[in-house]
């Protein structure tokens, strides 16, 4: 199985951003998708570093992709999206508006924020030029199996959300701005102090969600350590690791070791729990009753 690094979902300062992709050039991953997924207002802060990052990653032998925004509404966002193809690398579609901009027949990949729940949709996108598809994180294992088979028949590689806070919703409203009693147009970049998102808990102090500007994520970090064998059996070609702070290259290494059989089931979760006692992991979308569930908890 391959490893992909998804686009960073958070607002990172330019130096942190560029340093991350220098690290990824040396990390044991096959593909890196970069660019702005969540909020077009963030892009000017690091846009000029993107060509350099693409070059560094490509020189290190990584397949590189550039993501679309998750929600394209404004005129300048439409223009930006129409110009994405000029980056010279494969575009990852995370808003179906991209289908209006991509030249007919140009190959593209599809990210986890596009609704691909069934074979009919997969076949339609394959017909339009999709070469690889990262499935929506909420899909359970059984549909993943069906879609991985359909993908194989159509020559489309199927990827599954492997690790990281799960994107759960996108909105027209910016919650970071709302938290600071500002409007989105006058947000003053309230999200920049939360490089992994801002934790949202209930009135009874239950850890629950994380806010990231217009995006809402899970509080827990998805981790498919316990499902790797099932996913491989299902025909899944690749796992997606979603960027976070900390030693992300080391995290990539843990997944690589696990995929290559150098470590056993539970090794990744165990290492994460040792490094960060109390870390909250989840894999419930794949095999649990609810997304937040964690199979490791039941095994204890």
**Cα–Cα distance measured from residue 15 to residue 43, given in angstroms and rounded to the nearest whole number:** 13
Strands 63-67 and 31-34: parallel
Residue 88: burial class (beta carbons within 10 Å; 0-12, 13-18, 19+): exposed
Task: Say whether residue 142 binds another protein (CB under 8 A).
Answer: yes
Strands (E), 11-57: 31-34
Question: Least Å distance between CB 184 and another protein?
Answer: 4
User: Where does this chain touch another protein (CB under 8 A) — which range of 7-15, 36-44, 208-216, 247-255?
Assistant: 208-216
**Cα–Cα distance measured from residue 53 to residue 242, given in angstroms and rounded to the nearest whole number:** 17
- CB-based contact 161:222 (threshold 8 Å): yes
Tokens of 232: 């491989």
| Residue in 171, 188, 245, 276 binding another protein, rule: CB under 8 A | 171
Question: Least Å distance between CB 94 and another protein?
Answer: 10
| Residue in 99, 154, 230, 267 binding another protein, rule: CB under 8 A | 99
User: Where does this chain touch another protein (CB under 8 A) — which range of 44-52, 97-105, 249-257, 263-271?
Assistant: 97-105
**Cα–Cα distance measured from residue 132 to residue 176, given in angstroms and rounded to the nearest whole number:** 33
Task: Say whether residue 59 binds another protein (CB under 8 A).
Answer: no
Given the complex with another protein, which of 179 and 279 has the nearer CB atom?
179
Question: Least Å distance between CB 287 and another protein?
Answer: 11
Q: Where are the alpha helices (DSSP H) in 27-140?
A: 50-59, 75-82, 98-101, 119-128
Tokens of 294: 């964690």
| Residue in 37, 160, 191, 198 binding another protein, rule: CB under 8 A | 198
Given the complex with another protein, which of 56 and 218 has the nearer CB atom?
218
**What are the angstrom distances between the C-alpha of 240 and each of 110, 172, 192, 288, 289?**
12, 26, 24, 19, 22
User: Where does this chain touch another protein (CB under 8 A) — which range of 17-25, 27-35, 37-45, 112-120?
Assistant: 112-120
Task: Say whether residue 205 binds another protein (CB under 8 A).
Answer: yes
**Cα–Cα distance measured from residue 180 to residue 140, given in angstroms and rounded to the nearest whole number:** 36
User: Where does this chain touch another protein (CB under 8 A) — which range of 32-40, 50-58, 193-201, 273-281?
Assistant: 193-201
| Residue in 13, 152, 173, 262 binding another protein, rule: CB under 8 A | 173
| Residue in 43, 58, 85, 146 binding another protein, rule: CB under 8 A | 146
Task: Say whether residue 76 binds another protein (CB under 8 A).
Answer: no
Rg (CA), the chain: 18
- CB-based contact 8:38 (threshold 8 Å): no
Contact positions vs another protein (CB under 8 A): 70-73, 75, 77-78, 82, 95-97, 99-101, 113, 115, 117-125, 136-139, 142-143, 146-147, 150, 166, 168-175, 177-179, 183-185, 198-206, 208-209, 211, 216, 218, 284-285, 288-292
């Amino acid at each position: 199985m391959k490893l992909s690094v998804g686009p960073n979902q958070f607002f990172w300062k330019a130096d942190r951003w560029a340093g991350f992709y220098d690290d990824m050039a040396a990390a044991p991953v096959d593909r890196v998708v970069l660019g702005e997924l969540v909020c077009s207002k963030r892009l000017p802060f690091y846009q000029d570093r993107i060509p350099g990052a693409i070059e560094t990653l490509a020189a290190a032998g990584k397949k590189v992709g550039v993501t679309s925004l998750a929600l394209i509404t404004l005129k300048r966002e439409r223009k930006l999206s129409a110009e994405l193809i000029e980056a010279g690398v494969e575009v990852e579609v995370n808003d179906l508006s991209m289908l209006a901009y991509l030249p007919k027949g140009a190959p593209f990949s599809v990210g986890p924020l596009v609704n691909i729940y069934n074979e009919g949709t997969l076949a339609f996108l394959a017909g339009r030029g999709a070469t690889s598809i990262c499935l929506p994180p909420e899909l359970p294992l059984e549909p993943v199996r069906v879609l991985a088979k359909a993908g194989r028949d159509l020559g489309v590689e199927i990827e599954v959300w492997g690790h990281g806070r799960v994107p759960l919703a996108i909105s027209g409203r910016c919650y970071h701005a709302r938290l600071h009693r500002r409007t989105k147009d006058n947000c003053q970049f309230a999200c920049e102090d939360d490089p992994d998102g801002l934790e949202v808990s209930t009135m009874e102090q239950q850890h629950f969600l994380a806010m990231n500007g217009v995006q809402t994520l899970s509080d827990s970090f998805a981790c498919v350590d316990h499902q790797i064998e099932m996913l491989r059996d299902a025909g899944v070609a690749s796992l997606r690791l979603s960027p976070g702070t900390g030693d992300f290259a080391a995290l990539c290494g843990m997944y690589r070791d696990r995929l290559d059989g150098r470590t056993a089931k539970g090794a990744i979760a165990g290492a994460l729990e040792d490094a960060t006692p109390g870390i909250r992991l989840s894999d419930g979308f794949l095999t649990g009753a609810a997304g937040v569930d964690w199979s490791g908890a039941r095994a204890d």
